[in-house]
Structure 1
Amino acid sequence: MKVEPNDAQVSRPVSQPAPAARNTRAQVRQPLLLAVVLACGILLGANPFRPSDQNPDGTARGYLKFKEILSYVDRDYVDSVDAEALSDYAISRMLERLDPHSVFIPARQQQQASAFLQSDFDGVGVEFNLFRDTVTIVSPLSGGPAEQAGLQPGDRILAVNGEQVSGVHITNEEMFGKLRGPRSSKVQLLVQRRRQAKPITVLVTRNRIPNSSVDVAYMLDNQTGYIKVSRFASGTYDEFKQALGDLRRQGLSRLVLDLRGNPGGYLDRATKLADEFISGTKKIVYTDGKGDVYDTQTYSRTLGEFEEGPLVVLVDEGSASAAEVVAGALQDHDRALVVGRRTFGKGLVQQPIALNDGSELRLTIARYYTPSGRSIQKSYRGGYEEYEKELAQRQKHGEYFHADSIHFADSLRYRTDKGRTVYGGGGIMPDLFVARDTSAYSAYYTRLQSHNLVREFALNFYQDHKGELEGLRFEQFNSTFRISDAQLQALSAQAAHDGIAADAAGLRRCSPLLRSQLKALIARSAYGKTAYYQVLRDQDAELQQALRALQGNGEASTLLGLAK
């Protein structure tokens, strides 16, 4: 599901999205990886252009050599060349020799690279997806220009300002560019609506659109709150404070903080969030670089909103960088029970350096450490390609399914404040391991998802039954609605029509997963984002483990007692 992108402002110190490991190095080939992979941390310094005092002659010789070769290629090579593109490529390859997170972002992609962390943006305010090479509105953002103009879920955008966008293989990035624009400017959309013979024209006036990083916050029961933070953007701390305050007024006395899939973001927002849980003056994170120029120490200082009370933090292999800082600090101080799977393992700090042509260098200038002294950066000695494959290797070795397949060297052993053993050198290992449940997955399910057929079917179902759904309260829907066998067969028939061969065994295997996914997506269209998470909670293994711990069941309860 896509939302219009935005522009980010960099603050100090930060941990930018990305991961650079997988994104900007391959910028020329895959420019949008910035918003989907894992994070690289960033720390701003005062003067990035200090002359080197270690090898100034070598630096000068290397610079002159590169300049000379590029000049020869530009002047004498048999074919015409793009010298700037060659330079960008050479820089990216050079940085690969350093570490996986030092990256170069070309000028044309710098704005997009920063967009992930902005708290708002100018646009029309729609979530959209590409179904059958047509941009389809999944949901207009509440209160946004698109909703005010009358756009509805399921509307298909055929043209933008007279330019056709349907059936022309438009990319998400290209569509983002067409929908974005300065506040108060207008954009004309040609829209095909179900059950209307002719397309309609909708004029939308762009405005500032909030880009929330707190995906959802609601009460799981009359005591337990749940807050999911998707990244640490410029507005995350303020959003979190508001969400936590709202839940406290509803009776919250214990909390589940969900950082699964959180790729990082601004580190100062992450440390401020951690400070809400940590009492007194305690170290949250520190950084160590060459010399002492980039050495920093961050401590808890403010009176937090939830410094006492049971706290569980959910993490997985997609939790990285600033998210790992939060989880590591809370674990080291025995303030929270960490539940899930080992985190990504990103502990390098980058400094963004703006270059004259508008491009940007993000150079690793320090490592960060948790309060106990752990560096959670995983090894990158095997080079960039091996680093890229590390998560796949975890799966191959069975780590996602068996905690005893994970081994740490004794030299990486550390102690929490209360003496519990924790490890560094490759992410944050949770206190309670929860295996990834793949029992319902099948190749058939993957094909359905890759063609967007599950989302499309749910959206069409919502449109066909909108009147009935509007007559139900969510609680009624959640307790009584069920995806039938006939509806699953209808989805399979639609898939066959789209070229996905029928697979009865594959459908049977993934039917429990399909039923819950379809129900959740229908609930989202009918009742909003919170309803989506409420439908899925019973099938969420990590969340259920967290609830068992909070409710005082077994080993989880004992560990949580240490974390209070």
Structure 2
Amino acid sequence: MDNNPKNSVFQVRLPIIIALALSFGVLIGANSFKASPNNAQQTAKGYLKFRDILSYIDRDYVDTVNVEELTDFAIAKMLEKLDPHTSYIPASEISIARSYLEGNFDGIGIEFNVFRDTVYVVAPLSGGPSETVGIQAGDKIVKVNGENIAGVGITTQKVLEKLRGTKGSKVQLSILRKAQTKPMNFVVTRHKIPSHSVDVSYMLDKQTGYIKIARFANNTYAEFKEALSKLKKSGMQRLVLDLRGNPGGYMDRATKIADEFISGNKKIVYTDGKGTKYDSDTYAKVKGEFEEGKLVVLIDEGSASASEILAGALQDNDRALIVGRRSFGKGLVQMPISLNDGSELRLTISRYYTPSGRSIQKSYKKGTEEYGNDILNRYKKGEFFHQDSIRFDDSLKYKTINGRIVYGGGGIMPDVFVSRDTSDVTNYLNQLFAKNLVRKFAVNYFQDHRKEFEKMPFEDYKTSFLVSDKMLQGIIKEASSLKIVYKEKEFERSKDLLKNHIKAYIARSAYGSEGFYTIFQERDRELKQALQSFGRAGLLEKNYVQAHSVPE
């Protein structure tokens, strides 16, 4: 166990996990919204008070103020008095927020990374407009439409704003490429870019399929169906469904996927809100493509909302074995409400419950800050390393459809616990990740050896390519230039893990997502445990089929 949680790889990624979970959660379609008749008078008084104060400030305050910024700030502070997931998204940020879930956007089709104020192309998306004009992995974007973006404190948000635009519009890019002495200019026509939410799907062996879902967006169900069909044609008899790090999204996409695994008309999820307006019950209703067959679901502390709906439905119906660590614990449903100025309110309108009656929502009574620190507190208490450090109240005990004990009140607890492995994690390694050094090195290495990789089949790369000591010295040299002090003991401790990441990221540029995950998962102890758990999953599936078989 690492004694310095502040410096773990998990901590480097923690803000991303929490931000995604808090921002995207479970969403349902927006409907018209009206104030409660019981509070109409109080609502009117509050509105008039806010209007008067804003008017006085705008008219009489000693300095000129930005009224729109004041309004956005006031709204954000007001929502802090509610729950951690009700949120307000200003009009200036709404397009990027929506594109995460809408499944596609208009852009130039690249995966990029910002390193030392420089925008690196990690990979052009296959078939996208950037690949079409010849942009390559490893290229540095230094100008967009003649405006310098290198060395000016550029952020990912600013890059997205400059590269995305209306379909058919053109953007001029100035590119620096290795072996080229002068910048290269490309004109890229923006086009609709698919945003995939099923990261990868492939066969782990002759009988085992693997599907990783990154979030539940517009296209997720269609992508999942396509992946499932492909794997079945490849001979899949059992499946690992990976929901680790999945922050949620649209609830109905998660329930449709659950329906592909659950037979008959058994309950998947239900919601309960104020009154009955937002109450709902969702049942299985279609003949799914994988209602029989061993199923293991991977979850962790980054699995939230719709991920928990899917995992909870499969667990409560005794359809899947859940492997990993306790999930995030978000059991609130948000309704997106478009406002007149183009901004959006995502308002919590109900709680969701798993089929056994469990609420997955963890407590937020101690405030937003304490709520946001929950994952870190779990780490400090040792929950990521010891299952017996987790305590559930007996009053929150429930039973699955076949009588197994499960608990509510704070995420989905897996059937098979897997501790986090920090044995190879050091402060030195964390600094390399924090500075994006590993990914940058891999992209540059691929670019320098592109012709070699084009001739090398992936299976040959997987079995024969080795990350050499010379390559590692290159990383160390680059780190030193960034004032990262070399520590030999820490480096030796992290060496094998570092090699794995370098090889995986090179594979990402050379062979795509499947290449990346195939290499990366060689050190994935949670996936290895999932594969070892198919025996238990088989017993669960056998009892499930016997108890819930229905006539054709």
Amino acid at match of 2:217: A
Given that 1:337 and 1:563 are in contact with CA atoms closer than 8 Å, whether structure 2 keeps it comes out as no
Amino acid at match of 2:152: V
- 1:43 and 2:28 correspond: yes
Partner residue, 2:119: 135
Deviation by residue 1:247-266 (Cα, 9 ceiling, x = unmatched):
10000010000000111111
The structure-2 alpha-carbon separation of the partners of 1:543 and 1:220, relative to structure 1 and needing over 3 Å to count, comes to same
- Unmatched runs of 5 consecutive residues or more in structure 1: 1-21, 24-29
Amino acid at match of 2:24: A
Given that 2:353 and 2:360 are in contact with CA atoms closer than 8 Å, whether structure 1 keeps it comes out as yes
Partner residue, 1:298: 282
RMSD: 1.9
Partner residue, 1:529: 513
Q: How does 1:429-508 map to 2 (within 5 A)?
A: 429-508=413-492
Amino acid at match of 1:235: N
How far, CA to CA, are the matches of 1:393 and 1:172 in structure 2? 29
Given that 2:294 and 2:538 are in contact with CA atoms closer than 8 Å, whether structure 1 keeps it comes out as no
Partner residue, 2:371: 387
Given that 2:273 and 2:349 are in contact with CA atoms closer than 8 Å, whether structure 1 keeps it comes out as yes
Q: Residue 277 of structure 1: CA displacement?
A: 0.2
- 1:324 and 2:342 correspond: no
How far, CA to CA, are the matches of 2:414 and 2:268 in structure 1? 18
Partner residue, 2:549: none
Amino acid at match of 1:334: D
The structure-2 alpha-carbon separation of the partners of 1:56 and 1:132, relative to structure 1 and needing over 3 Å to count, comes to closer
Partner residue, 2:220: 236
Amino acid at match of 2:508: R
How far, CA to CA, are the matches of 1:253 and 1:547 in structure 2? 13
Partner residue, 1:77: 61
Partner residue, 2:322: 338
Amino acid at match of 1:164: N
Q: How does 1:54-65 map to 2 (within 5 A)?
A: 54-65=38-49
State which of 214, 218, 223 in structure 1 corresponds to 2:198. 214
How far, CA to CA, are the matches of 1:75 and 1:199 in structure 2? 51
Deviation by residue 1:434-463 (Cα, 9 ceiling, x = unmatched):
011111111111111111110111112212
* Number of equivalences: 532
After superposing the two structures, state which structure 1 stretch, 464-473 or 321-330, moved more: 464-473
State which of 347, 351, 355 in structure 2 corresponds to 1:371. 355
After superposing the two structures, state which structure 1 stretch, 88-97 or 69-78, moved more: 69-78
Secondary structure of 2:249's counterpart equals: coil
Q: How does 1:183-202 map to 2 (within 5 A)?
A: 183-202=167-186
Deviation by residue 1:380-409 (Cα, 9 ceiling, x = unmatched):
000111111111110011011111000000
Deviation by residue 1:160-199 (Cα, 9 ceiling, x = unmatched):
1211111222111111122112222222111111011111
After superposing the two structures, state which structure 1 stretch, 333-342 or 181-190, moved more: 181-190
Given that 2:294 and 2:537 are in contact with CA atoms closer than 8 Å, whether structure 1 keeps it comes out as no
How far, CA to CA, are the matches of 1:444 and 1:537 in structure 2? 22
TM-score normalised by the chain length of structure 1: 0.91
After superposing the two structures, state which structure 1 stretch, 476-485 or 448-457, moved more: 476-485
Amino acid at match of 2:435: H
How far, CA to CA, are the matches of 2:463 and 2:351 in structure 1? 49
Deviation by residue 1:83-129 (Cα, 9 ceiling, x = unmatched):
22222211211111111111111222222221111222211101111
How far, CA to CA, are the matches of 1:414 and 1:474 in structure 2? 47
Partner residue, 1:224: 208
Given that 1:336 and 1:563 are in contact with CA atoms closer than 8 Å, whether structure 2 keeps it comes out as no
Given that 2:18 and 2:302 are in contact with CA atoms closer than 8 Å, whether structure 1 keeps it comes out as no
Q: Residue 75 of structure 1: CA displacement?
A: 2.2
Q: How does 1:203-282 map to 2 (within 5 A)?
A: 203-282=187-266
How far, CA to CA, are the matches of 2:258 and 2:186 in structure 1? 45
The structure-2 alpha-carbon separation of the partners of 1:548 and 1:167, relative to structure 1 and needing over 3 Å to count, comes to same
Partner residue, 2:384: 400
How far, CA to CA, are the matches of 2:23 and 2:206 in structure 1? 35
The structure-2 alpha-carbon separation of the partners of 1:340 and 1:560, relative to structure 1 and needing over 3 Å to count, comes to farther
Partner residue, 1:166: 150
Q: Residue 559 of structure 1: CA displacement?
A: 5.3
Q: Residue 72 of structure 1: CA displacement?
A: 2.1
TM-score normalised by the chain length of structure 2: 0.93
How far, CA to CA, are the matches of 2:321 and 2:162 in structure 1? 45
The structure-2 alpha-carbon separation of the partners of 1:36 and 1:156, relative to structure 1 and needing over 3 Å to count, comes to farther
How far, CA to CA, are the matches of 1:421 and 1:470 in structure 2? 53
Deviation by residue 1:189-238 (Cα, 9 ceiling, x = unmatched):
11111011111111212222111111000000000000000001100000
The structure-2 alpha-carbon separation of the partners of 1:139 and 1:195, relative to structure 1 and needing over 3 Å to count, comes to same
Partner residue, 2:399: 415
Secondary structure of 1:528's counterpart equals: helix
How far, CA to CA, are the matches of 2:373 and 2:342 in structure 1? 31
Amino acid at match of 1:311: L
Secondary structure of 2:456's counterpart equals: coil
Given that 1:39 and 1:320 are in contact with CA atoms closer than 8 Å, whether structure 2 keeps it comes out as no
- Unmatched runs of 5 consecutive residues or more in structure 2: 1-13, 546-552
After superposing the two structures, state which structure 1 stretch, 500-509 or 463-472, moved more: 463-472
How far, CA to CA, are the matches of 1:173 and 1:240 in structure 2? 29
The structure-2 alpha-carbon separation of the partners of 1:560 and 1:486, relative to structure 1 and needing over 3 Å to count, comes to farther
After superposing the two structures, state which structure 1 stretch, 65-74 or 439-448, moved more: 65-74
How far, CA to CA, are the matches of 1:62 and 1:83 in structure 2? 18
How far, CA to CA, are the matches of 1:44 and 1:246 in structure 2? 30
Which one has a larger percent helix, Structure 1 or Structure 2? 2
How far, CA to CA, are the matches of 2:514 and 2:152 in structure 1? 35
